[in-house]
Amino acid sequence: MGADNGGGLLPSSGNRCGSDDHRGTRHLDASRLRLVEGQEAEGKARIKALRDAARAGIADIEAGLYRTFNAPADLEHHLGTLQDNALSPKSRSESDG
């Protein structure tokens, strides 16, 4: 049955609109939940990777696999040499096997 609208009749919406609204809300809630769960999984993966890297670094230090530098310039030189070696065409062709 219709509702009176100041002389005109509007169709009755019944529960249909309300039901559609609830379905839309449930869909949004499920989407938000999936997003939050995905973010939590990414966060856990990042923490695991950081912990694994820390363990590897600690193991290297304990095994004596590290270098010390007397001055910042010495470190910069070492890093530059590593960079040059990594970017050299010879280094790339050897790694391509």
Question: What whole-number distance in Å separates Cα of residue 47 and Cα of residue 83?
Answer: 28
Q: Is 90 helix (H, G, I), strand (E, B) or coil?
A: helix
| Per-residue pLDDT at 68 exceeds 60 | yes
Instruction: Return the structure tokens found at 9.
Output: 């009749």
Question: What is the structure's pLDDT at 9?
Answer: 53
| Neighbouring-strand partners of residue 29 | none
pTM: 0.52
Instruction: Return the structure tokens found at 57.
Output: 């670094």
pLDDT in tens, 37-53: 999 999 999 999 999 99
Q: How far, in Å, are 64, 78, 83, 87 from residue 68 at the CA level?
A: 11, 11, 18, 24
